[in-house]
Structure 1
Amino acid sequence: MGAAIGIPLTFLLILAFFITLSPQISAVSYPINVWPKPTAFSWPHPQITLLSPNFKIHFPLNPYLHQAANRYRKQFIEEHYNPLVVPHLNLTSSPPLKSLTITVTDDSAPLTHGVNESYTLTIPSPEQSTTATLTAETVWGAMRGLETLSQLIFGNPSRVACDLYIHDEPLFHHRGVMLDTSRNFYGVSDLQRLIRALSMNKLNVFHWHITDSQSFPLVLPSEPELAGKGAYGEEMKYSPEDVKRVVEFGMRYGVRVVPEIDMPAHTGSWALAYPDIVTCANMMWWPAGVDWTDHLAAEPGTGQLNPLSPNAYKVAKNVIHDVVSMFPDSYYHGGADEIAPNCWITDPEIQAFVAKNGTLSRLLEIFVDSTLRYIISLNRTVVYWEDVLLDASVNVSPSLLPPENVIFQTWNNGPSNTKKLTEAGYRVIVSSADYYYLDCGHGGWVGNDTRYDQPPGTDIGDGGSWCAPFKTWQTIYNYDITYGLNESAANLVLGGEVALWSEQADSTVLDSRIWPRASAMAEALWSGNRDATGRKRYAEATDRLNEWRNRMVTRGIAAEPIQPLWCIRNPGMCNTVHPFLAS
């Protein structure tokens, strides 16, 4: 069974890449952008031809592929992208290309971790055939191929590259963005726009950090008071219907939505509904006159679930049950980061526990053992931040964290912690704050900060941003997430996520904080950041990223510029020929 979509407007496909991963496949260099760069291609005789005004797309009858084909059809018709640098290629007098046939081997493969996203695109010479082909193992791979086609469309009237072959597949299965919606709220339309941009960049995971100490915006059927009292306001909640819209939107764009409900720390907002289950709630995060080692939270917003409270488990398990019911993905992110020892110590019951030779690590083990078992019983793989195993003060024994059921997400110490975890046999998602934290470098946000009250000329260092400096797209692009790992350890790295914590971000800056820096990670995790000789390819990526950023803007994604327009109009003039050496 199949279907066809007719396109009444012509469109242009032009492929221009700079390197190849196969010695049998040739490379060309034209100022045309595809992002992320495909892994293999051939265009031995660069030429273009018109596309027939009656061009049709034939595809299997899968509902998500059907929606994608309709969506791309609309985009092909309406976008008319004008490149910043127009290629100079001669139009052939050959017959126009009349159709695209999409073939999918398994059109029922679910959208889950590890699903095959490869595709092959062939656009023959018009003398040979007037039908292009897009073949993929799954619907999700076909979507990636359609995105490549969409990026190759521009001009009016539109034209298409011919005698062209692309084979493409990602290096890493997990490629995503984490967004925190607790510190500042984002509407459903913001989340949908983020998902749409993820799909454009061939990223496939939206890690939704939904709740934290600051607010609890998620309405849960079993625990409505958590959002009823913990949300910032009635208009700043996510209803079950909102979640369904976001999850379904992700399916339409081939993007998984992975929920995170952080616990037992980062739960101060729970205390508004259940003050009896949260320790140190609504206390000063760093009391006056005490050393940093005695802080009650890593930032303003205190509160941690009490592992000795039976009611804490009742509420936590209701939360987990409802979230698993609302989010179909096989991954459930349980957080478990940044336990502040002194927050627990404020509680008399915990004080008595410690006085009887109990430890705070044992408290965390009690909590994690109970909740982890429950999450696993709901047929979910659990993702935790690395702290639960690697924190120097409060951690859990590896015997309670089976590698077959637990994945760790790293954020500290760059490649070092990735190495520790993979060598211990754990799968890892990389989100190193040294490379992948998008909120870094915007200065401090706490009030009454005396670091800024200094005599003129005083160096205030990181400016109050704990993870400064700002992570440039080059920093992100050049990060090798398997650096220093042997082959077996590298195989345990599932991929990576850039992260936007929202202390200083909301919907007004969402696009510019994420894009095009997340695009840099997208290419590095899809086809790598090196050319065939092993050299980093950030130099040639600059022009392509300029072009891709411009196209994202035309598609309604307010990505920030990476260079003045003058640089783009004067190729090479903004480069440096002098190496910058560390002092």
Structure 2
Amino acid sequence: MSAPPRPAPAIVPRPHRLTPLSGRFTFDTGTALRVAPGAEHAAVLLRELLAPATGLPLPTHPDGRVVLALDPALTGLGTEGYGLTAGPDAVLLRAARLEGLLRGIQTLRQLLPPEALSDTPVRGTTWSVPCVQITDVPRFSWRGAMLDVARHFQPVAFLRRYVDLLALHKLNVLHLHLTDDQGWRMPVAAYPRLTEIGGLPHGGAYTRTELAGLVAHAAARGVAVVPEIEMPGHVRAALAAYPHLGNDPGRRLGVWRQWGVCDTVLGVHDEVLDFCRTVLDEVMDTFPGSHVHIGGEECPTAEWERSPAALRRAADEGLDGPKALHGWFMQRIGAHLTAAGRTPLGWTETGEDLPAGFTVLPWRDAAHGLTAARRGHDVIMAPYRSTYLDYPQSDDPGEPPGQPGGIVDLRTVHGTEPAPADWEPEAAARVLGTQAQLWTEYVPTPAHAEYLSFPRLCALAETAWSGRRDWPGFQERLHHHRVRLDTLGVPRRPPTIASGEDSS
């Protein structure tokens, strides 16, 4: 009688190809790393991630049994792909790029017992992994999560933890929504009142040092931090600090303490454009990545329609009217980012409302992504019906308050399709990936944010990395993966809203 097939390890997201092998490899105090040139950062990360629970030193040695190999000549793995082979006597992790090694390290963590994810020492556990052969390549290059820290400020320690949770699931973008009507969290030396005034409600503001440290922490894990500075709408906090940037310079406003869409927007005079460029220059100094998000959505034009200065600007620029100032404004600011070597990002509400050169995030309707792709935009799919995590996860009466008007449950997120099969190939090729959005009107604490994020981000990671639609298989693997989330302290049940404490 033949032996029964060995069960595949419960890895989330599902690897592209995984073959269970016989036996196990055990890490012990004598286990050393053999590190190829260029792989040193991966070795540092592996030690950093495993040390708290295991205490394993994992020194570097020419004869180390855990091999981190970096070979640019490897074909078929791309930027983030990796190969992982664990045998009884050795582990080989190889990739063409450092990013691939970082993804493979997260898989190796999931192969270890769940206790390996603990941030405190664990005694009496054998640190072994099942023997396995994995070849893994992501489906999409952009696999992200947006976290709104403008509506409710979150401490930088939580942002670092959130990055760690993203990296575990091979999500590679933290989109940080830093400004809105209700708060301004990004320090700008040239405009200190932005945080002195605009950062007061619902929390506070970050320092440049904190944000630079977050960027470095994320980069070490292969996660890019993409800043978002809203304009020309969603700017009430900025106008509370600097009223002359608005359309009524004599008006005095407070930071908005309501939720929804505020009707106050930036003016379109030269001083406003100078302000935006100065702010974005400081943003680019702090966030060195390739993309900068400048919002662009939900911009009422009523103020422009009655502002003499805005009407003059529209006439001088030969525009059809004040409504066209939105596209004009976005083109001007986008060109500033492009000239600095960055790619401007913006929310699209129709697929046709942002200038050429923008990478767009369709959020109202997935069909707008097709429209944008056909116009030549690169697209990151973010439709609210399947990626907005501020909506309740179920209709259970115990769910905390969330956005009204719908439910985004786990299966809905799992069913997100960034590049639908009925799109023509040229349009589908424009899709960089997808991301989830966690707006925080109803999310005052880190524990609440984690409860809403997981396990729904597990489902998004599965979709963005592997593209598999095996719902029963995902459920089975998630059942095992939930133990890992428990070890990490991610709440299973809604936190107590008043205190932010987990009620489980």
The TM-score normalised by the length of structure 1 is 0.72
Which of 1, 20, 23 is the matching residue for 1:47?
23
Give yes or no for contact 2:401–2:442 (8 Å, CA) kept in 1: no
Give yes or no for contact 1:216–1:226 (8 Å, CA) kept in 2: yes
CA shift at 1:51, angstroms?
4.6
1:486 is aligned to 424
Which of 271, 288, 292 is the matching residue for 1:328?
288
1:145 aligned counterpart, secondary structure: helix
Query: Residue 13 of structure 2 aligns to which amino acid in structure 1?
Result: P
Which of 80, 83, 99 is the matching residue for 2:65?
99
Deviations 1:451-485 (A, max 9, x none): xxxxxxxxxxxx99766322111110112121121
Q: Please give the root-mean-square deviation of Cα atoms over the aligned residues, in Å.
A: 3.2
**CA distance in structure 1 between the partners assigned to 2:221 and 2:43 by the alignment:** 11
Gaps of 5+ in 1: 1-26, 80-96, 108-113, 287-296, 444-462, 531-536, 562-583
Change (3 A) 1:538 1:388: closer
Deviations 1:108-136 (A, max 9, x none): xxxxxx97011101123x4xxx2221111
CA shift at 1:52, angstroms?
5.2
**CA distance in structure 1 between the partners assigned to 2:401 and 2:307 by the alignment:** 31
Alignment of 1:189-208 (within 5 A): 189-208=157-176
CA shift at 1:556, angstroms?
3.4
**CA distance in structure 1 between the partners assigned to 2:378 and 2:303 by the alignment:** 30
**CA distance in structure 2 between the partners assigned to 1:520 and 1:263 by the alignment:** 31
1:147 is aligned to 106
Deviations 1:288-309 (A, max 9, x none): xxxxxxxxx98154421111x2
Verify: 1:468 aligned to 2:429, yes or no. no
Verify: 1:555 aligned to 2:488, yes or no. yes
Give yes or no for contact 2:378–2:431 (8 Å, CA) kept in 1: yes
Change (3 A) 1:138 1:76: farther
Verify: 1:217 aligned to 2:169, yes or no. no
Change (3 A) 1:407 1:255: same
1:332 aligned counterpart, secondary structure: strand
2:281 aligned counterpart, secondary structure: helix
Verify: 1:255 aligned to 2:223, yes or no. yes
Give yes or no for contact 1:210–1:259 (8 Å, CA) kept in 2: yes
Verify: 1:236 aligned to 2:196, yes or no. no
2:219 aligned counterpart, secondary structure: helix
**CA distance in structure 2 between the partners assigned to 1:118 and 1:466 by the alignment:** 37
Give yes or no for contact 1:56–1:98 (8 Å, CA) kept in 2: yes
1:119 is aligned to 82
Change (3 A) 1:78 1:477: farther
2:50 aligned counterpart, secondary structure: helix
2:436 aligned counterpart, secondary structure: strand
Give yes or no for contact 1:211–1:260 (8 Å, CA) kept in 2: yes
2:97 is aligned to 138
Deviations 1:55-88 (A, max 9, x none): 2222235553232121233156169xxxxxxxxx
**CA distance in structure 1 between the partners assigned to 2:467 and 2:28 by the alignment:** 35
Alignment of 1:63-102 (within 5 A): 64-74=41-51, 77=54, 99-102=65-68
Change (3 A) 1:212 1:196: same
2:232 is aligned to 264
Deviations 1:486-534 (A, max 9, x none): 222111100001000110013241111111101100011111123xxxx
2:497 is aligned to none
CA shift at 1:279, angstroms?
3.6
Query: Residue 539 of structure 1 aligns to which amino acid in structure 2?
Result: P
2:194 aligned counterpart, secondary structure: helix
Which of 399, 422, 434 is the matching residue for 1:496?
434
Query: Residue 135 of structure 1 aligns to which amino acid in structure 2?
Result: R
1:522 is aligned to 461
2:499 is aligned to none
Give yes or no for contact 1:341–1:360 (8 Å, CA) kept in 2: yes
Query: Residue 250 of structure 1 aligns to which amino acid in structure 2?
Result: A
Query: Residue 380 of structure 2 aligns to which amino acid in structure 1?
Result: I
Change (3 A) 1:282 1:275: closer
1:161 is aligned to 130
2:498 is aligned to none
Change (3 A) 1:52 1:469: same
CA shift at 1:249, angstroms?
0.7
Change (3 A) 1:216 1:346: farther
CA shift at 1:206, angstroms?
0.3
Change (3 A) 1:560 1:282: farther
1:299 is aligned to 260
Alignment of 1:537-548 (within 5 A): 537-548=470-481
CA shift at 1:355, angstroms?
9.4
CA shift at 1:339, angstroms?
1.4
Verify: 1:421 aligned to 2:389, yes or no. no
Deviations 1:126-153 (A, max 9, x none): 4xxx222111111111111111111111
**CA distance in structure 2 between the partners assigned to 1:477 and 1:77 by the alignment:** 33
Give yes or no for contact 1:438–1:470 (8 Å, CA) kept in 2: no
CA shift at 1:227, angstroms?
1.4
CA shift at 1:541, angstroms?
1.1
Query: Residue 38 of structure 1 aligns to which amino acid in structure 2?
Result: P
**CA distance in structure 1 between the partners assigned to 2:414 and 2:291 by the alignment:** 26
Give yes or no for contact 1:180–1:500 (8 Å, CA) kept in 2: yes
The TM-score normalised by the length of structure 2 is 0.83
Change (3 A) 1:299 1:50: closer
Deviations 1:176-203 (A, max 9, x none): 1001111110010111011000000000
**CA distance in structure 1 between the partners assigned to 2:315 and 2:226 by the alignment:** 40
1:380 is aligned to 342
Change (3 A) 1:521 1:66: same
**CA distance in structure 2 between the partners assigned to 1:497 and 1:148 by the alignment:** 21
Moved more, 362-371 or 321-330: 362-371
**CA distance in structure 2 between the partners assigned to 1:245 and 1:49 by the alignment:** 35
Change (3 A) 1:413 1:466: farther
2:451 is aligned to 512
Query: Residue 267 of structure 2 aligns to which amino acid in structure 1?
Result: N
CA shift at 1:365, angstroms?
3.0
The count of aligned residue pairs is: 459
